[in-house]
């Protein structure tokens, strides 16, 4: 029962991650891509947590915490310094 | 006996995560505008992930894992919504118009915060010299 | 699990190479480092995953953004 729960949830999160990656590729403007990146990092975080519980060792969850901090930092860097305006609305791709 | 209770809690948490996850991902594709997609994605990116954390907390094998999960949940509650806010600010500053033009009452407020000249997106519903901006 | 992550990494890398807008390339590369940290994790190497997460999502994205900020955003090639 426990194993079924964990495995089922993992496959569901992988499906959500693929959905988010498709939105990253397809998103018309950079803002959609950042939104999809935000979703993707949340989903990967959940996947790490579930996998950590399945493995049972504590170091696996340190990865999730480190990833949460640096993912947030990277997103902050992207959104803080760059603007859509320099490139127009990104429609000439 | 205790494992039955924890598994039931985890089952409830994971089903709610599945429901919110599918709603979020479907919303991410159905909505026509970055702002609406942001609402769908934060719905999926924080609620579903948080209930996954709750479910895995119920199934945590040892105390070391459980405490790390609690720390992770606390930090995720801070960084998740803030990330959503940062992306919204990025979209608003780069002049992406909301799907429905924002009513004039809200628009002037941007100037008070020094929002700067907003270049209208090509297919923006607002007429060029609408004077609203 | 691994194959799905590898397929996503491949597609994101191709997009980062082909795209003309460097900001979208940076976002794609951030996704690539995210998925590669995930793969190290699934392959039971948590310390390598920690390093990849710290370097990939944190430092390299900031360096790319810094480079884009000082140059222009359109890839002329």
What does the pLDDT look like over B24-58, one tens digit per residue? Answer: 888 888 887 788 888 888 888 888 999 999 998 88
Is C touching B (3+ C-beta pairs, cut-off 8 A)? no
Number of structural domains found in chain A: 1
What mean pLDDT do residues C47-56 have?
A: 90
DSSP secondary structure code for residue C21 in this structure: B
What digits encode the pLDDT tens for the residues A67-76? 999 988 888 8
Give yes or no for a contact between B31 and B37, defined as CB atoms under 8 angstroms apart.
yes
Highest mean pLDDT among B107-111, C41-45, C70-74: C41-45
pTM: 0.81
Mark which residues 37-56 of A lie under 8 Å from B by CB.
Answer: 38-39, 41-43, 45-46, 49-50, 52-53, 56
Query: What residues contact residue B109 under an 8 Å CB cut-off, 6+ apart?
Result: none
For residue C57, is it within any domain? yes
* pLDDT tens figures, B1-25: 777 888 888 899 999 999 999 988 8
Q: Is residue C76 part of a domain?
A: no
Residue B72, pLDDT above cutoff 60: yes
Please identify which residue in the block is written with the tokens 């990253």: A24
Please give the pLDDT value at position B34: 80
Structure tokens at A66: 């480190």
- What residues does C21 pair with on adjacent strands? C74
A13 close to A43: Cβ distance less than 8 angstroms = yes
Domain, as residue range, for C25: 2-70
Within 8 A of A91 by CB-CB distance, chain B residues are 122
Residue A66: domain span: 2-92
CB contact under 8 A, B69 and A50: no
Domain count of the fold of chain C: 1
pLDDT in tens, A15-57: 999 988 888 888 788 888 888 888 999 999 999 999 888 888 8
Name the CA radius of gyration of chain B, rounded: 21
Average pLDDT over chain C, rounded to whole?
87
Report yes or no on C77 lying in a domain.
no
C14-36 pLDDT, tens per residue?
A: 998 888 888 888 888 988 998 99
């Amino acid at each position: 029962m426990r194993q079924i729960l964990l495995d089922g949830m993992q496959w569901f999160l992988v499906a959500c991650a693929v959905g988010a990656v498709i939105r990253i590729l397809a998103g018309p403007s950079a803002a959609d891509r950042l939104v999809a990146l935000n979703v993707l990092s949340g989903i990967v975080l959940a996947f790490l947590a579930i996998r950590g519980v399945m493995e049972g060792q504590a170091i696996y969850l340190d990865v999730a915490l480190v990833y949460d901090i640096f993912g947030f930092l990277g997103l902050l860097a992207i959104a803080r310094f760059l603007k859509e305006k320099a490139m127009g609305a990104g429609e000439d791709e | 006996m205790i494992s039955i209770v924890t598994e039931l809690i985890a089952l409830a948490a994971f089903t709610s995560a599945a429901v919110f996850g599918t709603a979020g991902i479907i919303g991410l594709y159905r909505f026509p505008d970055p702002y609406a997609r942001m609402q769908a994605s934060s719905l999926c990116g924080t609620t579903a992930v948080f209930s996954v954390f709750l479910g895995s907390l119920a199934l945590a094998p040892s105390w070391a894992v459980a405490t790390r999960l609690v720390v992770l949940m606390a930090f995720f509650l801070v960084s998740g919504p803030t990330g959503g806010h940062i992306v919204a600010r990025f979209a608003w500053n780069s002049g992406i118009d909301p799907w429905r033009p924002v009513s004039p009452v809200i628009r002037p407020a941007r100037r008070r915060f020094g929002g700067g000249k907003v270049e209208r997106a090509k297919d923006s519903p607002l007429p060029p010299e609408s004077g609203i901006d | 699990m691994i194959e799905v992550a590898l397929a996503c990494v491949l597609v994101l890398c191709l997009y980062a190479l082909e795209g003309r807008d460097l900001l979208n390339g940076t976002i794609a590369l951030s996704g690539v480092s995210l998925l590669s940290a995930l793969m190290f994790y699934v392959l039971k190497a948590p310390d390598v995953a920690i390093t990849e997460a710290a370097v990939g999502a944190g430092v390299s994205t900031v360096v790319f953004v810094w480079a884009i900020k000082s140059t222009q955003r359109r890839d002329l090639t």
